[in-house]
Structure 1
């Protein structure tokens, strides 16, 4: 019987990853699928990194081999007489392929090694954009979307940043990635040296941090439990909440809440579930200013998890009332403050806006069936607070606000104290009289100007011109001047006055919007005098923000000492995550960048010519970051970054040459990590001693967002080896795989 002809196996032309996942490969090196999935090893088993390389190699084969090998690659049924010759030639061709494969592999490894020893900043041109890939061994990869060259603006303006699977608009602090690029370049060459301990120490710290988080992370789901802290502690936590958060974001009717709170402790009946959720969220928020070490962090996280479990129950239509809205708002703030997925709160805020619209809060009560003054004012207050928090979260997350002035006609809250709403049809107090709602009314007055800023920065298709920036700056300043006149009027009266905390937060809010508006032009201003105004605004505004959250000096206080009211903000930026802490981080990085820019501009600049007010911030930033770790922050990268900045500025002031400066900065970075390591070990021991019952074997909300956290400096220093996101097909499961 004639020997059955073996059909020639077609050489694979897709890369290994695409062929394994059975998806189309564009055969580039790396291919488009590997680029999207951040796969650094795009390998072709046909021994060529690109199809055109195969063509070039085939043409370089000696003529006798090529003449015989070519038919064998194209003919499906070669003549039997030539089978021996073909087999011999094929073996020679295979041997040639093996040699070329090894050569090509060595070349690829050499290129990858060369790239790993320097920071890659190669622009990737795409239609209508200019995308720059900034990657390094210690920083990971960021794709910075620069200004469209056709827009007539400087191309080094960052319009947005893509990192992992998310895109951040201009208001997100990570768009200032270019501010730390120089320091990454400075230490990158030494990271690969055997004597450098930066990577080893950071990996150990990150491992400890994950263990600590697992210890303190509650089980999911966490059913609501009736247990509360002792009443004296609960009283203080409630008081801290009412003196801080409630003065800015009007959520509760304070007399009603206090009445229900006292009844909860004296009643023997089953507690009202919705109120118990509300109370635990108030306690969680109050815990962030309870003491300097956030000793109730684990309890606060537990309370947040219980509230999240309750709110996440399906079929909540019967709960659509004002108390349910209050609990949702409190949950957003508690998640952000207690570090339970704070960078994803913006997504939940969108759901809250839709719930409020579904309940008709976007319509003024005068346009709805008649309700009492109490109900009408509570609806106005809650809608006002939802608008404010949604806008603030859009600013922090770098996302479009998805709200506009024409989507609602609800009037601002009336100028009432809470006690007034207990009577029928009370008249509002005069505008110049300060009430418990005055701060909320002021925020509403400047809401349109701030909304325009966030839309300008984050909306798709925004022009981003400098002329528009200056126009928005003028509108923002004009609205703030009117606010300052109102606040000064309150301070000059003998009646009720706003607290120092409320005044400081108002200043911080306005300065943060102004800062975000000018940051895109801060880096171009280093080289172009046309943007000198923005540079000055960024520096001076950053200094105002820093002094607001870090009074100089910040006097340490004991656990039992009651801080003055204005120091609650300083405590909040240490203990809580989210908006307030990010503001401090951003301000310190910008000030350090300005100092380094000045030192480079004036090569002969001496110590006596450096602005001491800016220089002091550099040292204070280390102190602040250290306090954050003492308060339970598990990431040491904020302290690490502050130490690098301080070392680089010190080295520049000493006139160190680049190589000497590089080694000095690396040494200080290692020292910073070594200082933090015992603190983390102590934190872990304390968590175990307190008997925290985490659930590391489960997938909890905080664990799911751990690798996505960009609320602090984690994103700048990624020492992980894992593949970030694979947008493809898993070979064992016929569906999308997110590994």
Structure 2
């Protein structure tokens, strides 16, 4: 407070002197305004500007000191609750304990090993079900229970399956490509899905280089080969319903990661290198090669782009062609999206402000237009290849504010602020929807995939915004709006990515079916990015809500949906196990089973789930491999106390990681949280 008083006193005195000097200087400058080049006039003007700058600096310091003082005076009381389970491992939930007259307690952060998750991370929803895991835990430890042993067997088999897909590290790049008809299909599906969401390529230029690649006898440019393989790796995720090209896509990502890790960094400060860096991040997330950690790598990408001046609008830099200027704006726009969205996915602060850049949004150009001389952008009412990206950009500032309110280190978003941000986002989205509806479908208009992906993005932020207040909303009428938002939006997301759901069959029975594959549903099942995680997380509110027939249908179908993910190549069975326990909980409540019988109900559900997964994995690996069968038989003889270190993992609802360095055996226990 003494420092605050000193700053305040200094600021007030400076303001007083500054106002007097400015007034005096202004009066002396005005008579000479007809001759601004005189030395006296220039000197007075400089003095005034210097004083104004000093005053502004002192005012900023005063404001920061006052905010810090207010935050210190109103700092919340934190309650840390530790939980331990053989399924989830040890974690700590930090809750803000309510003072008198405040809102009910809510989770603020969750800590597991060396990671800390903010409120936007999907695990905050799952944490509400820890009572189920705590109830079944004693039975899992019983001598006659096979759940943990089967879980360990599934994990062992899952590692074998992953090792069969994973190449050695490093993986040198080669010019080898799949047959052209397959490459054409993978490129096409990428352009139909990811490229219309994250603008990375100039499509005509890419098409020209791609066609030339197949018709040339000269050695191909390895930089373009890496870019193409990343495009194919992403396209492979939605190429078919069962992700048949998973092994190839993993290999392509490893090649790109090896190439980009080469030490010749300075020579790669180019736009093609930025394009490859973006595509590698998208591929790592979709294929799930260390996908949970891409927020860290995005930080490096942001700094690389800043070092290249991409955070400054081209109009403030030496003259460049329209093509180069627009590509810089497009790539910076995509980098902003990656920085923001990975912040929400990882539950980490965005570490980005609107004051950190002045690059304008890209123009509403078709790709062909920016290669012309002095082109003019299309009107806002004309749909182009940039329209969806520009629509998303219009909501950037509001979404950034949401991410900061949820994951900032001093984030204590009040319910009033939550409602304010909700209103801002909805208002922007309504205006965008009116624009999208105004496009002439006979000329050019967004695809159903683009519309659904845009809708998913908005709902994702609304749900992240309201999730902290959802548990209290089940008991407090003052949060009734949050309860409605979370339940309705979670249901809409589930229906969007699960068109075969009984709910969708009932609601849309008479609607015409599209001949185009459902890429959004494929991304949710085969892909491993935010669509999969958010779909998993958003089923949780439907379970916590008062029993409704449509919500019960979603919960009952959840295990079937998760099983499809396993069939598409997922190797983590804990999500299927967890949802089986949740379904058992609902079944017990609906049947009116006495409370003391719930643990046995959970145990039977867990045993059945793990037995089903084990049989599936054994069939996939191959029962004829004698060494694997001997290893599995030996697990049954392992001492129980050795199992937790082998099977406990917080990431029990998301895909298993591919490790680029094969360092699974290294664990720095001294670096973890206690």
Normalising TM by the smaller chain, what interval? 0.7 to 0.9
- Structure 2 distance, partners of 1:162, 1:457, is 15
Q: Which residue of 2 aligns with 1:518?
A: 466
- Structure 2 distance, partners of 1:644, 1:430, is 54
- Structure 2 distance, partners of 1:224, 1:150, is 59
CA 1:283–1:140 in structure 2 vs 1: closer, same or farther (change >3 Å)?
same
Work out whether residues 122 and 537 of structure 2, in 8 Å CA contact, stay in contact via their aligned partners in 1: yes
1:577 paired residue among 528, 537, 554: 528
2:357 equivalent to 1:400: no
* 1:62-461 → structure 2 map (5 Å cutoff): 128-149=77-98, 153-154=102-103, 156-461=105-410
- Per the TM alignment, residue 507 of structure 1 is displaced from its structure 2 partner at its CA by 0.6
- Structure 1 distance, partners of 2:100, 2:372, is 58
- Structure 2 distance, partners of 1:478, 1:530, is 23
- Per the TM alignment, residue 148 of structure 1 is displaced from its structure 2 partner at its CA by 4.8
State the SS of the aligned residue for 1:132: strand
- Structure 2 distance, partners of 1:481, 1:455, is 23
- Structure 2 distance, partners of 1:591, 1:677, is 28
Q: Which residue of 1 aligns with 2:581?
A: 644
- Per the TM alignment, residue 486 of structure 1 is displaced from its structure 2 partner at its CA by 1.4
Work out whether residues 169 and 458 of structure 1, in 8 Å CA contact, stay in contact via their aligned partners in 2: yes
State the SS of the aligned residue for 1:133: strand
- Structure 1 distance, partners of 2:186, 2:100, is 52
TM-score, scaled to structure 1: 0.73
Work out whether residues 456 and 462 of structure 1, in 8 Å CA contact, stay in contact via their aligned partners in 2: yes
- Per the TM alignment, residue 459 of structure 1 is displaced from its structure 2 partner at its CA by 0.6
196-205 vs 296-305, greater mean Cα deviation = 196-205
2:554 equivalent to 1:617: yes
Work out whether residues 146 and 155 of structure 1, in 8 Å CA contact, stay in contact via their aligned partners in 2: no
Q: Which residue of 1 aligns with 2:570?
A: 633
- Structure 2 distance, partners of 1:377, 1:668, is 56
499-508 vs 207-216, greater mean Cα deviation = 207-216
1:665-705 deviation digits (Å, cap 9, x = unpaired): 221221111111122123324999xxxxxxxxxxxxxxxxx
- Per the TM alignment, residue 612 of structure 1 is displaced from its structure 2 partner at its CA by 2.0
1:463 paired residue among 406, 409, 412: 412
- Structure 1 distance, partners of 2:85, 2:608, is 21
CA 1:686–1:509 in structure 2 vs 1: closer, same or farther (change >3 Å)?
farther
- Per the TM alignment, residue 178 of structure 1 is displaced from its structure 2 partner at its CA by 3.0
CA 1:713–1:687 in structure 2 vs 1: closer, same or farther (change >3 Å)?
farther
1:489-542 deviation digits (Å, cap 9, x = unpaired): 12x542111111111110111000000011111111222222222111111110
Work out whether residues 241 and 522 of structure 2, in 8 Å CA contact, stay in contact via their aligned partners in 1: yes
Q: Which residue of 2 aligns with 1:675?
A: 612
1:712 paired residue among 637, 649, 653: 653
- Per the TM alignment, residue 277 of structure 1 is displaced from its structure 2 partner at its CA by 0.6
CA 1:431–1:617 in structure 2 vs 1: closer, same or farther (change >3 Å)?
same
Number of equivalenced pairs:
563
State the SS of the aligned residue for 1:248: coil
CA 1:461–1:680 in structure 2 vs 1: closer, same or farther (change >3 Å)?
same
- Structure 2 distance, partners of 1:714, 1:331, is 18
1:536 paired residue among 480, 484, 488: 484
Q: Which residue of 1 aligns with 2:33?
A: none
- Per the TM alignment, residue 566 of structure 1 is displaced from its structure 2 partner at its CA by 6.3
- Per the TM alignment, residue 192 of structure 1 is displaced from its structure 2 partner at its CA by 2.3
TM-score, scaled to structure 2: 0.80
- Per the TM alignment, residue 167 of structure 1 is displaced from its structure 2 partner at its CA by 0.5
- Per the TM alignment, residue 422 of structure 1 is displaced from its structure 2 partner at its CA by 2.5
- Structure 1 distance, partners of 2:517, 2:100, is 45
2:440 equivalent to 1:495: no
CA 1:309–1:488 in structure 2 vs 1: closer, same or farther (change >3 Å)?
same
337-346 vs 566-575, greater mean Cα deviation = 566-575
Gaps in structure 2 of 5+ consecutive residues: 1-74, 506-512, 626-646, 657-664
1:637-662 deviation digits (Å, cap 9, x = unpaired): 12112222222111110101122232
